[in-house]
Amino acid sequence: MDNDKYSEELNVAVRVVHMACDLCQKVQKGLLSTTFDDNEVKSKDDDSLVTIADWSVQATVSWILSNTFSSENVSIVAEEDVQTLSKPEAAGLLGKVVSTVNECLAEASRYGLKCPDKPLGPSKILAAISHCNSKGGPLGRHWVLDPVDGTLGFVRGDQYAVALALIDNGEVVVGVLGCPNYHVKRDRHNKQQQNHISSEVSVPSADLLEEGCVMYTKKGTGEAWVQPIVYGDRKYEWPNFAKQVRVSPIDDPALATFCEPVERANSNHSYTAGLASSVGLRNKPLRVYSMVKYAAIAQGDAEIFMKFARAGYKEKIWDHAAGALIVQEAGGVKDSDRILSYCVLPGGKHVFSSHTNLNRASYTDSFLPSLQNKSLFHTHLRLPLTPLRCPTPARPIYAKKNAASMELTKRPTSPSILLTHLESSMKQFQRLMAVIFIFIEIASPIPLYGWQVWSISPAEAVLYSPETKTLPRTGELALRRAIPANTNMKSIQDSLEDISYLLRIPQRKPFGTMEGNVKKALKIATDEKASILASIPAELKEEGLVLYTSLIDGKGGLQKLLQHIKDKDTDKVSVGLASTLDTIAQLELLQAPGISFLLPQQYLKYPRLTGRGIVEFTVEKVDGSAFSPEAAGEAKSTAKIQVVVDGYSAPLTAGNFAKLVVDGAYDGMKLTCANLAILSDSKMGKTTGYSVPLEIKPAGQFEPLYRTTLSVQDGELPVLPLSVYGAVAMAHSDVSDENSSPSQFFFYLYDKRNSGLGGLSFDEGQFSVFGYTTIGRDILPQIKTGDIIRSAKLVEGQDRLVLPPLEN
């Protein structure tokens, strides 16, 4: 390739992405401020989010490209449209987009680009956004833009990317990737605990780009570069302290790190864990929002990117074009016949495919509908995959690029070639430099075959899943782990919870290991005091300081616990540990005044609980018998049961339940005893409650899933497991299992003798668990069919109960 070819396009693309990153950071700062207007974040038809930054970046980039290359008929393929902004009720939203765009374009000269002669009006802004509606194609030039990739991370103050690529006659020739929050370092990857939050921004230091970065490349150069983002009043001057980036030189799978999407909707974490284990990967994954994963690969912060097919989902060209080219030119592709190609399928669907000489069928035209199938996109690595079963038969389609015709052609190849390729890869893990390992589902009506030899069965995946070993077995433990608190507190908690397992070792206890765990927790607590207290709202600071002091030096604090361990007094260690963990939970609750995620727009019509609540039941015997208290005391016909309901993990389910309690819906209700459960009456008379969707938050995820169960056999486990004695959950709706019952709940009487492999309930992951019995567990087995709930009261948490607008 001519070294000067596309140089001007690359220059302009890098500059406009710098502008876009500055715009996004300003918008993100506003979203995270206390004056945030939730009208600035909208849900699209597919439930994905869009913000004023998405529209503003698209308008800005569109205007700059169109005016800089005005002699060309600039074709731009981008994600957003103007339907929402064009509605009369969106006038305020459009006004914010207009002001944001004009503020950004006014700074264009600082980046060496032309400014508009005067501010753009709403009609010109909408026109600029609409200009990005090109359908693309295998011929001609097309710019491809993702204005904000990873919008969910963006609104959470986490990672996101601005991606811009140029495609010329079907080939990606320029790629620019802006990563305003990218400060991830390899030495932090393996310090994650339980894979809770793997998208972590480190504190800037001398070896980091302090203000985020922009990566860029041009096809055929064999080089990729990174620049620090220009902020403030500093003028952009090429090459802006650019440094070359290269993929990782690591060739030992035990040292390699793979990255994957944060959200379960885009990745099956247990499945990738199983696959990683089968090929010898031992490091914890780096879970990052957006195309920042490509930046991590290109800069050597990770070696592998795994993303698997999702039924009905078509990969979009703007999600991969820029990042894939950057990885390729940074050294991620070695085989000359594996060339990134851009193809547009009928209906304007944009996909990437990898091109090798392996194939099972012959087609004359790559743009036929028959090509809408699963394809494998990777670079050059041979992974030592263990031959395993695949639950869904599939046939790999590979293609080789015909350089003369610029079309994709196919060659028939025997399946034995694929087997030989995999068998040889079992013997050697060849140069693990940088891999993008993506199975892309393109919704084909054609069944695919032949992937059985290198897939992993659900049964084996669950065996590899680390979560199965640490599933909480008590309500208190599950509730403590469910609190979305400061990461330092979670690290302290994890260290101390390990001691609970060590105490179970018979005979000689590993007191040395316990001592190390407490010293680690104590060091974090003292070194990170400011961070721990800074996470507590101002009005709760005084209470937080008291708890913090108690955690360090209190009667049940870390210093006392350390002394008990040195004295090798098992009983005191056990009591002190429980006290310390209770203090930690109280501190974490102060750090989490509300839920840590955005509810989908369509569910805001339901009641919701934005934290914890406590419901107290008074149950009564109706047959003249009495409840026998666990401790010495008088037998009575009534007994108290307290349930902690968790709005952090199940805000809709807990909110609906709490509202029914406040309304007195359960007062006088009969109870029915069934196998392993105590159910409330399914008939509520005039009070029906809300038929809220099934709501389950998977372990390691940021937010719940709705209208879907978890696949335990695939290793998916909930934050609030059913496999705990005294778990409280909603029954299923009579109409659909995708919804919970409007009012019927049950106490689950977990019995390990009636459980499956690993002690999991056979119904695990099938119901919306929203709390646990914390007081009165001894009363549950004494309840008989016909006993009643005399009263149910929300004794704590009513201030966290948010009712729909019509209910206020």
Q: In the prediction, which pLDDT does 369 show?
A: 25
Give me the phi and psi of 291, to 5 degrees please: -70, 5
Which residues are annotated binding-site positions for Mg(2+)? 79, 146, 149, 319
Q: What percentage of the chain has pLDDT greater than the value 70?
A: 73
> How would you label 365-382 residue by residue, b for 16+ Cβ within 10 Å and e otherwise?
ebeeeebbbbbbbbbbbb
Neighbour count for residue 408 (Cβ, 10 Å) = 21
Summarised one tens digit per residue, pLDDT across range 379-410 is 333 333 333 333 333 322 222 333 333 232 33
217 is catalytic: no
Omega prior to 249 cis, within 30 of 0: no
* pLDDT band at residue 586 using 50, 70 and 90 as cut-offs: very high
DSSP designation for 557: S
Token duo for residue 509 = 């206890």
pLDDT at 453 over 90: no
Least-confidence region, from 54-63, 266-275, 530-539, 786-795: 266-275
In whole angstroms, give the CA distance from residue 803 to residue 808: 6
Neighbour count for residue 50 (Cβ, 10 Å) = 20
638 is catalytic: no
Three-state SS at 632 = coil
Give the domain ranges of the chain.
Answer: 7-247, 271-467, 485-591, 601-807
Summarised one tens digit per residue, pLDDT across range 252-297 is 777 888 888 776 556 667 667 767 777 777 787 887 778 888 998 8
The answer for residues whose C-beta is within 8 angstroms of residue 353's C-beta and 6 or more apart is 341, 343, 375, 377, 397, 399, 408, 440
pLDDT at 480 over 90: yes
* 8 A C-beta contact, residue 216 and residue 176: yes
Alpha-helical runs (H) found in 454-610: 458-464, 475-481, 487-502, 511-527, 529-534, 541-553, 558-566, 570-591
> 707 or 345, which is more confident?
707
Burial class (CB within 10 angstroms; exposed 0-12, middle 13-18, buried 19+) of 538: exposed
Token duo for residue 393 = 């038969």
pLDDT at 309 over 70: no
Catalytic residue among 22, 51, 54, 217: 54
In whole angstroms, give the CA distance from residue 321 to residue 225: 16
Over residues 549-575, the mean pLDDT reads 92
- CA-nearest of 553, 498, 500, 484 to 525 is 553
Domain 485-591 has CATH 3.30.450.40: no
The CATH architecture one would assign to domain 601-807 is Beta Barrel (2.40)
Catalytic residue among 60, 68, 100, 151: 151
Mean pLDDT estimate for the chain? 76
Burial class (CB within 10 angstroms; exposed 0-12, middle 13-18, buried 19+) of 500: middle
Q: In the prediction, which pLDDT does 99 show?
A: 95
Radius of gyration of the chain (CA): 29
Of 3.30.70.1230, 3.30.540.10, 4.10.140.10, 3.20.20.30, the CATH number of 7-247 is 3.30.540.10
Which residues are annotated binding-site positions? 79, 146, 149, 319
